[in-house]
């Protein structure tokens, strides 16, 4: 499908950051009634990274952004806009993107957040691609960053075992549309009738896990914590992701067999495998990082991308299918032909 635009968008820098503190399944099982075996079998998760008490989502985002800028051989002065996809902003306002801009030493160019929970990066990539094709910006820093540990009830084993903290970032650049490769296109969906199945009510707990496991107690009344009907989320996620990858292939005239890499949202290994099966993809074409850092929401797709990129596995001209499913429910996919060396 041709956009008729003189521009196309290309990923020219990739970065990621995970906070130092690792919380293993075994340690978690001293805090709630669970076990390493249960968590690994049902989710594939072995551990998660937890933000430090004195860190904020913007700090994780800034570290990932610095790495992406370095990777692109650029500085903040080369950037025209920053978008941060997050569901755990530092503050209700101003935007986390404006704080990241400040921390990176940027000034005057636009910066804003988007909220599509775990699909935030996939939504963000679609938005950036549209703006670059429209000729509005030349280079955009797109970041997915989360401190999910701050909106968890650490006494609820149904949810606290599933999430972690981290950030991933990419720099996207405009090139002439006859340049080979780059972002091909995106498919996005949302169905708000499912909104009650996965949500966090307003206000933050303010609690941060420390070295002592008992520190994970929630420390204020009326806290916000993730509430989820896991079975129903699982069922709809598998169906909708299967549909959206098929829709993306059809819309952009791509055959299943042409996909080199599935770069999925990292929520549960069983959901990932179901999507790979639908695409008839070999398991080793599917990027898996959920074992290392659990579900990092909007950070998960760029962290997965950063993972295979750093392993040197991405080759120019390869076709990537990024996909995510999120609370809302909001879901989507992006097709990217890798154009970076
Ligand atoms: N440790 C040990 N046991 C647990 C547990 C835990 N952390 N959480 C639940 N259980 C128990 C349940 O109480 C239940 O016990 P019972 O059979 O005695 O009633 C049993 O394990 C099975 O629970 P169930 O909820 O049916 O397990 P499941 O196979 O559906 O797996 C999830 C649960 C949450 C892992 C799974 O539903 C899931 O991944 N859902 C999608 C969540 C998600 O991805 N959310 C984010 C989307 S972006």
Rounded Cα distance between 168 and 321, Å, is 17
The pLDDT tens digits for 221-230 are: 445 789 999 9
Residue with the bigger pLDDT between 181 and 11: it is: 11
Residues of the chain with pLDDT > 90: what percent?
Answer: 84
Domains 7-176 and 182-195+228-337 share a fold: yes
Q: What is the DSSP letter of 286?
A: B
Kindly report the average pLDDT of the chain as a whole number. Answer: 92
Write b or e for each residue in 253-286: b if 16 or more Cβ atoms lie within 10 A of its Cβ, otherwise e: ebeeeebbbbbbbbbbbebbbbbbebbebeeeeb
Q: Say whether pLDDT at 2 is over 70.
A: no
Ligand 1 midpoint to CA 114 (Å): 29
The whole-number pLDDT of residue 214 equals 47
Determine which of 109-118, 176-185, 289-298 has the lowest per-residue pLDDT on average: 176-185
Distance in angstroms between the alpha carbons of the first and the last residue of the chain: 25
The pLDDT tens digits for 218-261 are: 444 445 789 999 999 999 999 999 999 999 999 999 999 999 99
Does domain 7-176 fall into CATH 3.40.47.10? yes
Residues with CB under 6 A from ligand 1: 34, 38, 42-43, 118, 157-158, 161, 228, 230-231, 233-234, 267-268, 295, 325-326
The whole-number pLDDT of residue 211 equals 58
Q: Say whether pLDDT at 181 is over 60.
A: yes
User: Taking the domain 182-195+228-337, which CATH number applies?
Assistant: 3.40.47.10
Ligand 1 midpoint to CA 23 (Å): 19
Rounded to whole angstroms, what are the CA distances from 43 to 18, 35, 38, 102, 242?
Answer: 20, 12, 8, 37, 19
Mean pLDDT of 57-79: 98
The whole-number pLDDT of residue 178 equals 79
Determine which of 58-62, 224-228, 252-256, 336-340 has the lowest per-residue pLDDT on average: 224-228
Rounded Cα distance between 162 and 160, Å, is 5
Closest CA to 122 of 299, 296, 334: 334
Closest CA to 275 of 321, 229, 209, 207: 321
The whole-number pLDDT of residue 306 equals 98
The pLDDT tens digits for 266-278 are: 999 999 999 888 8
Global pTM reads: 0.94
Residues of the chain with pLDDT > 70: what percent?
Answer: 93
The structural domains of the chain, with segments of one domain joined by +, span: 7-176, 182-195+228-337
Confidence at 212, pLDDT banded by 50, 70, 90: low
Ligand 1 midpoint to CA 321 (Å): 28
Q: Which residues are catalytic?
A: 118, 265, 295
The whole-number pLDDT of residue 210 equals 56
């Amino acid at each position: 499908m041709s956009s008729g635009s003189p521009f196309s968008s290309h990923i020219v820098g990739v970065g990621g950051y995970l906070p130092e503190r690792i919380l293993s399944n075994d340690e978690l099982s001293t805090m709630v009634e669970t076990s390493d075996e249960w968590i690994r079998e049902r989710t594939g998760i072995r551990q998660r990274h937890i933000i430090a008490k004195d860190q904020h989502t913007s700090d994780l985002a800034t570290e990932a952004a610095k790495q992406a800028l370095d990777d692109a051989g650029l500085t903040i002065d080369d950037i025209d806009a920053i978008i941060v996809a997050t569901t755990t902003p530092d503050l209700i306002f101003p935007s986390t993107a404006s704080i990241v801009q400040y921390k990176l030493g940027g000034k005057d160019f636009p910066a804003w957040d988007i909220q599509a929970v775990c699909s935030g990066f996939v939504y963000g990539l679609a938005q950036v691609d549209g703006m670059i094709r429209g000729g509005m910006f030349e280079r955009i820093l797109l970041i997915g960053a989360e401190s999910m540990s701050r909106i968890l009830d650490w006494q609820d084993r149904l949810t606290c075992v599933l999430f972690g903290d981290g950030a991933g970032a990419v720099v996207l650049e405009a090139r002439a549309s006859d340049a080979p490769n780059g972002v091909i296109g995106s498919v996005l969906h949302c169905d708000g009738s499912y909104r009650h199945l996965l949500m966090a009510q307003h206000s933050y707990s303010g609690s941060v896990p420390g070295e002592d496991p008992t520190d994970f107690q929630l420390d204020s009344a009326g806290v916000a914590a993730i509430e989820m009907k896991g079975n129903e989320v699982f069922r709809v996620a598998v169906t909708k992701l299967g549909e959206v990858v098929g829709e993306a292939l059809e819309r952009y005239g791509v055959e299943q067999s042409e996909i080199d890499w599935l770069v999925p949202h990292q929520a549960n290994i069983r959901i990932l495998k179901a999507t790979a099966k639908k695409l008839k993809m070999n398991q080793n074409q599917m990027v898996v990082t959920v074992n290392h850092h659990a579900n990092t929401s909007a950070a998960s797709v760029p962290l997965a991308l950063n993972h295979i990129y750093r392993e040197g596995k991405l080759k120019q001209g390869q076709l990537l299918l990024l996909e995510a499913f999120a609370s809302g429910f909001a879901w989507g996919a992006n097709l990217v032909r890798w154009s970076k060396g």
